[in-house]
Structure 1
Amino acid sequence: MRQRSYEWSDPRILADAVTGMDGIEFLKRIGTGDLPPPPAAQTTGIVPVEIGDGWARFELEPAEWHYNPLGTVHGGILSTLADTALGCAVHTKLPAGTGYTSLDLTIKFTRAATVDSGLLTCEGTVVTIGRRTATAEASITDGSGRVIAHAVTTCLLIPSG
């Protein structure tokens, strides 16, 4: 049997911090380590790489514990990687005090990913942003640059207060 263990920080640290800064500042502070990664990132191994105005790039090194019963990375893990990049791309465009939630996520898988696929990279980019919703698109590529999956989302923008 194989084992895995990991640690995570209190999620309230992020919940308290997010209300006082705009999305791009918040995400960059996670990337620099000034704020801890969210527990979901610690669980899945999804790592922020670079954040910009209207886009976000994340990476995932496939591991055996990501596998489904068929011996490939589970589609839910790939969906989580895409959802992370998509949502964070939208978050980079939001002012302090505005949150979001995914209304939908559509993902198309184009090839299997395994530990032999190399580092998986997902870049999400905002397509449209309005007063109440935003849309974004993303692609996941393997270590050779081949597309593993592509996805789109619509996010509901939620002003606080």
Structure 2
Amino acid sequence: MFHAQSPADLPDLEQVRAMTGLQFMESIRDGRMSAPPIAKVLNYALDVVEDGRVVFRGTPGFEVTNPLGTVHGGWYGTLLDSCMACAVMTKIPAGATYTTLEYKINITRGIPLGTEIFAEGNVQHVGRSTGVASGEIRDAAGKLYATGSTTCIIMPLPKAG
């Protein structure tokens, strides 16, 4: 998987317009299109893509801690926003896109630094204009660290240029 290093590395909108959301997410997972730069910055990657389900794998390091040395809530939020919204993306038709309208997270416990986690997003509903999904962050043993929910707006993909 490669990450966009500059705007020139981002996916071509005309190419994306011809793909369903599921095809788009699969192309990122398979390395045919670049992963978003934020994934590299926060040390997470797309791991599983299925119709209505997406899993990111990540490991928080010292660079994502708050002043007390624990994993910052923004790291949890970013991973949950990513997995939930990308799960919605898997249900979107060609020529459309989404953006998060709102999301909520509940952190149930701190993630120990260096612990590999899995952030899973699952769709509850996708219609013509909105998508709703839930998410969880767990470790390999299944221990729950956070839950979330999101509502996304679905809209036409803007014209290039």
Q: TM-score, normalised by structure 1?
A: 0.89
Deviates more, 1:63-72 or 1:13-22: 13-22
Structure 1: which 5+ residue stretches go unaligned? 1-6
Aligned 8 A contact 1:8 1:42 in 2: no
What SS does the corresponding residue of 2:100 show, helix, strand or coil? strand
Structure 2: which 5+ residue stretches go unaligned? none
Residue 4 of structure 1: aligned partner: none
Match of 1:63 among 39, 45, 61: 61
Residue 145 of structure 1: aligned partner: 142
Residue 80 of structure 2: aligned partner: 82
Aligned 8 A contact 1:63 1:114 in 2: no
Residue 19 of structure 1: aligned partner: 17
List 4+ stretches of structure 1 deviating above 6 A: none
Letter aligned with residue 159 of structure 1: P
Residue 152 of structure 2: aligned partner: 155
Residue 116 of structure 2: aligned partner: 119
Q: Distance in 2 between matches of 1:11 and 1:123?
A: 28
- How far off is 1:68 after superposition? 0.8
Residue 39 of structure 2: aligned partner: 41
Aligned 8 A contact 1:106 1:153 in 2: yes
CA RMSD in angstroms, aligned pairs only: 1.6
- How far off is 1:97 after superposition? 0.8
Q: Distance in 2 between matches of 1:132 and 1:14?
A: 23
**Count of residue pairs brought into register by the alignment:** 154
- How far off is 1:143 after superposition? 3.6
Identity of aligned residues (%): 36
- How far off is 1:113 after superposition? 1.1
Q: Distance in 2 between matches of 1:144 and 1:71?
A: 24
Is 1:9 the counterpart of 2:5? The answer is yes
Letter aligned with residue 142 of structure 1: D
Q: TM-score, normalised by structure 2?
A: 0.89
Q: Distance in 1 between matches of 2:6 and 2:50?
A: 26
